Amino acid sequence: MAPLDATQHRLAVATIVGVYGIKGWVKLRVNLSDPGLLSSLLSPQLDDPSGKTKRPVRVLSVRVQGKGYIAQLAGVDDRNQAEGLRGCTITVPESSLPPPATGELYWRDLEGCRVESIYEQETVCLGIVDYLLDTGANDVLVVRASKDSLDDRERLIPWLEPDVIERVDLDNQTITVRWHPDD
């Protein structure tokens, strides 16, 4: 892994959405396919919702609880301390994440990509990927209009390979989709 640099970009890997029990455990919304990584990532930091306060944090344990995840954080020993962390985000330097496996992508790599569709023998720009949604059934690209897009509409395009998503070219920052411009 690359050496850590305090000026490098940090990624949000989890958000504290509540508390669990009386011993300081917190409920998490996790932005990783493997939540167990939370306890082994380098230089995790806790950012308050305002973005003004940042401090190192150590995730001691993560486990499944119901439909979500709970975690034990070092130094958080009771419910009151945990409640004070609601809304905080756990971030890590981008370089501390493992590289994606062959055929896999990080969502962050798709954000900002130009989305194109071939319509009536012409390539049309539908916009730029703003962010992705996890709907449970499948992920969804939220595509916002850009200066080059066909119109000024926001589009929700399901991440369904190969039915909708035909090709992803990260080198050229383009995603080719099979999607009608009026949808």
pLDDT digits (tens, 9 = 90+) for 132-146: 987 878 899 999 999
Give this prediction's pTM. Answer: 0.68
Q: How confident is the model at residue 169 (pLDDT cuts 50, 70, 90)?
A: very high
Q: What is the DSSP string of 145-165?
A: --TTSSSS--EEEE--TTTTE
CA-to-CA distance for 65 and 135, rounded, in angstroms? Answer: 19
Q: Is the pLDDT of residue 117 over 60?
A: yes
Query: Mind listing the pLDDT tens digit for each residue in 3-45?
Result: 444 446 888 999 999 999 999 999 999 988 889 899 999 999 9
pLDDT score of 167 more than 80: yes
Residue carrying structure tokens 């000026």: 7
Could you tell me the pLDDT band of residue 156, with boundaries at 50, 70 and 90? very high
The answer, yes or no, to whether residue 154 has pLDDT greater than 90, is: yes
pLDDT at position 2 over 50: no
Q: 174: which residues sit within 8 A by CB, 6+ positions away?
A: 113, 114, 115, 116, 167, 168
- Tallying the residues shown for the chain, one arrives at 183
Mean pLDDT of the chain: 90
Q: How many CB atoms lie within 10 A of CB 42?
A: 11
Identity of the highest mean pLDDT range in 10-14, 121-125, 163-167: 163-167
Task: Write down all domains in the chain, each with its CATH number in brackets.
Answer: 10-96 (2.40.30.60), 107-177 (2.30.30.240)
